[in-house]
């Protein structure tokens, strides 16, 4: 569980805070999407979640531990895995397995356990067989999954991903989202920062940031249906959602439009 209590964060020499009195609680086993315009504070929120940044005011608690408490720094870092916006910035090993081992090795995990963790993390992201590959030879999708494996090897209760699919094609994106769905069903909390509202529909909850403040916090379909908030945040619903809304206005009973099949089923029930 990650709790933000009235958190404000200002970068040095900045006139306005990047995050402004944010209070949210993120539970274990949940999938939360974080959306918002460029510069709204999403990456700042991610870095505060695992103690990479410390609040200027307020506090962040990870499983009850204050991230500002130096005594808990390693525990906090291993409880909350952070996957950065650009995976190249996160790759440290010369081969895949070394890269994944880096975090737990620093935690002092013994050899045999380390092997199990590396193999488990690579299997979870579908990179088994590429242990000796040099990371720079991987595709972008594989690099992103390698970054996720590195975070997973720490056995985090929560995974914060900063735009994990932004640089990926449809297939790479599908691969990463499938990995996240599996992790979540195994109990890991997912916090997915994204500009893609179709991706946000994978989450039960979405937090929308606007100039460092929480502008919306609730179910994804309600946000998509709330034209006022969507408009003020500069967000556009996914095409499928707009199609369903237009069909609803013509009298078709479409409860949900998460997939093309939902729409087809409403038009031509099988
Ligand atoms: N290292 C920094 N020094 C000073 N200001 C920063 C720094 N990093 C971010 N900011 C500022 O803090 C605010 C929030 O930035 P942040 O990176 O959290 O936004 P974001 O929502 O992740 O944006 P994007 O969608 O572009 O990734 C912005 O106004 C940004 O200019
Ligand atoms: Mg960002």
Instruction: Say which residue, 201 or 44, is predicted with more confidence.
Output: 44
How confident is the model at residue 236, as a pLDDT? 84
Q: Is the pLDDT of residue 77 over 80?
A: yes
Tell me the mean pLDDT in the region 166-183. Answer: 85
* Range 2-235 classified under CATH 3.40.50.300: yes
Here the contacts of 71-79 (C-beta below 8 Å, separation 24 or greater) are 74/107, 76/50, 76/51, 77/50, 77/51, 77/154, 78/103, 78/107, 78/154, 78/155, 78/156, 79/50, 79/156, 79/157, 79/158
**CA 155 to ligand 2 centroid distance, Å:** 24
What is the pLDDT confidence band of residue 140, given thresholds at 50, 70 and 90? confident
CATH 3.40.50.300 domain position(s) in the chain: 2-235
* Residue whose CA lies nearest to ligand 1 atom number 31: 39
> Any idea of the CA torsion for 138, 140, 142, 146, to the nearest 10 degrees?
90
Instruction: Return mean pLDDT, the chain.
Output: 91
pLDDT at 53: 96
Residue 66 has pLDDT above 90, yes or no: yes
pLDDT of residue 192: 96
Ligand nearest to the CA of 42: 1
Residue 196, judged by CB atoms within 10 A of its CB (0-12, 13-18, 19+), counts as: middle
Nearest ligand 1 atom to the CA of 46 is 18
Q: Could you tell me the pLDDT band of residue 170, with boundaries at 50, 70 and 90? A: confident
- Of all helices (H) and strands (E), which one includes residue 41? none
Residue-level pLDDT at 270: 86
Q: What SS3 class is residue 47?
A: helix
pLDDT digit string, tens, across residues 194-233: 988 889 988 999 999 999 999 999 999 889 888 888 888 8
pLDDT at residue 41, rounded to an integer = 96
Structure tokens at 204: 């039960």
pLDDT > 90? residue 6? yes
15, 41 contact by CB (below 8 A): no
Q: Give the pLDDT of residue 46.
A: 96
Judging by beta carbons within 10 Å of its beta carbon (0-12, 13-18, 19+), is residue 258 exposed, middle or buried? middle
Which residue would you say has higher pLDDT here, 29 or 8? Answer: 8
Distance 206 CA to ligand 1 centre (A): 20
Residue 171 pLDDT exceeds 90: no
**pLDDT at 106 > cutoff 90:** no
Q: How confident is the model at residue 85 (pLDDT cuts 50, 70, 90)?
A: confident
Label residue 224 exposed, middle or buried (CB < 10 Å: 0-12, 13-18, 19+): buried
Q: Compute, in angstroms, the gap from residue 38 CA to the centroid of ligand 2.
A: 7
Please state the length of the chain: 270
| Mean pLDDT, range 117-127, rounded to an integer | 91
For ligand 2, an ion, list residues with CB under 5 A. Answer: 42-43
Quickly state the pLDDT bin for 149 (edges 50, 70, 90).
very high
CA–CA gap between residue 36 and residue 212 (Å, rounded): 9
Q: What is the DSSP string of 110-136?
A: -HHHHHHHHHHHHHHTT-TT-TTS-GG
Among the atoms of ligand 1, which is closest to the Cα of residue 195? 25
Q: Per-residue pLDDT for 258 more than 80?
A: no
Q: What is the pLDDT of residue 45?
A: 97
Q: Which residues line ligand 1 (CB under 6 A)?
A: 11, 14, 18, 36, 38-44
- 177 close to 183: Cβ distance less than 8 angstroms: no
């Amino acid at each position: 569980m990650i709790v933000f209590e009235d958190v404000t964060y200002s970068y040095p020499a900045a006139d306005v805070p990047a995050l402004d009195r944010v209070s949210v609680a993120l539970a274990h086993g949940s999938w939360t999407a974080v959306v918002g315009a460029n510069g709204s504070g999403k990456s700042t929120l991610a870095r505060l979640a695992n103690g990479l940044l410390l609040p200027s005011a307020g506090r962040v608690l990870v499983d009850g531990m204050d991230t500002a408490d130096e005594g808990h720094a390693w525990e906090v870092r291993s409880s909350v895995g952070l996957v950065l916006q650009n995976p190249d910035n996160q790759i440290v090993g010369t081969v895949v397995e070394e890269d994944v081992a880096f975090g737990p090795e620093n935690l002092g995990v013994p050899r045999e356990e380390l092997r199990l963790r590396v193999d488990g993390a690579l299997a979870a992201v579908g990179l088994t067989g590429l242990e000796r590959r040099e990371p720079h030879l991987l595709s972008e999708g594989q690099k992103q999954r390698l970054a996720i494996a590195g975070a997973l090897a720490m056995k985090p209760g929560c995974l914060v991903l900063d735009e994990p699919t932004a640089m990926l094609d449809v297939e790479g994106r599908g691969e990463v989202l499938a990995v996240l769905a599996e992790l979540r069903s195994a109990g890991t909390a997912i916090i997915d920062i994204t500009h893609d509202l179709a991706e946000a529909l994978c989450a039960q909850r979405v937090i929308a940031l606007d100039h460092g403040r929480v502008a919306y916090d609730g179910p994804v379909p309600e946000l998509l249906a709330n034209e006022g908030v969507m408009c003020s945040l500069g967000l556009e619903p996914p095409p499928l959602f707009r199609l369903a809304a237009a069909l609803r206005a013509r009298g078709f009973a479409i409860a949900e439009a998460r997939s093309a099949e939902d729409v087809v089923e409403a038009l031509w029930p099988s």
